[in-house]
Amino acid sequence: MAGTPLHDRKVSVGSYIALAFAIVFFSGFMKSAEWYGVFDFTTLNGSFGKVVYAVKDTAEGIQASTYTMRGKGGSGARDGFIFAFTLIPTVMFALAMIEVLEHYGALNAARKLLSPLLKPLMGIPGDTGLALIASLQSTDAGASMTRGLIDEGKLKEKEADVFTMFQFSAGATIVNFFSSGAILFTLTNTDGSAAVPASIGLCLIVMFVLKIFGANMMRLYLTMAEKKQANTGVHGEAA
């Protein structure tokens, strides 16, 4: 019904289709320069061009050295501003996509499917499902979605702390691992044998398990802190 709040609407087949699209879109599975890259968040988010920071004359002619949009040598508040400025498109794009997916019921489907898993696993609600998936590819997208959940009252303070611990230990796990760490698996010893005695899949599993472990360590710490605070309050009242 038109007047029914989005979070109260019935989870339909379309909701699950929207959720499946969201998982593919934010997970990085489709990241590629091929046509199917249009179904990937990072690919569509794109990148800034390069800025020239040094020009050198060589025997072959003039060659321009380039860096990133932030340039080179910045410091202080001004460099921090440029860095924050580069995050704006990512955050805006992520939030816009979440609004569209929420309209089609993806968040409701995620809540229904993931609550029975995430609650006992880390003590966080199923609403965090898409933010969790997004954080594996982009820390910016994961953070912006988490901020939205907090503002909407779907994530309590303790849950937000636990979830943040999960996100920012080995942040953007999939992208960072495959863009830098995976090259280690191509290295070989002098006899031709693999230099790294493990598989890519095993390493990803270890990182994911340790992220959950870290989140639960934070969960345990916060629980103990709450109990200590409660006991202190009781003793204070008794005194």
pLDDT in tens, 95-109: 788 788 888 888 788
Alpha carbon 228 to chain centroid distance?
32
pLDDT at 210 over 90: yes
Name the one residue in this structure whose structure tokens are 């907090």: 150
What digits encode the pLDDT tens for the residues 129-172? 888 888 887 788 888 889 889 998 989 999 999 999 999 888 88
Give whole-number Cα distances, 195 to 182, 205, 221, 233, in Å. Answer: 12, 20, 39, 57
Q: List beta partners, residue 71.
A: 68
Instruction: Name the average pLDDT for the chain.
Output: 80
CB distance 101 to 21 below 8 Å: yes
pLDDT, position 34: 84
Q: Is pLDDT at 201 greater than 70 in this prediction?
A: yes
The per-residue pLDDT for 235 is 61
Residue 58: strand pairing partners: 61
3-state class of 126 per DSSP?
Answer: helix
CB atoms within 10 A of CB 145: 28
Instruction: Say if pTM beats, i.e. exceeds, 0.75.
Output: no
Q: Is 42 exposed, middle or buried (0-12, 13-18, 19+ CB in 10 A)?
A: buried
**The pLDDT of residue 23 is above 80:** yes
d(CA 217, CA 234) in angstroms, rounded, equals 26
- Are 142 and 131 within 8 A, CB to CB? yes
pLDDT at residue 40, rounded to an integer: 86
For the chain, give the percent of residues with pLDDT over 90.
18
- Provide the residue ranges of all domains of the chain, joining segments of one domain with +: 6-46+87-186+197-232
Q: What whole-number distance in Å separates Cα of residue 105 and Cα of residue 113?
A: 12
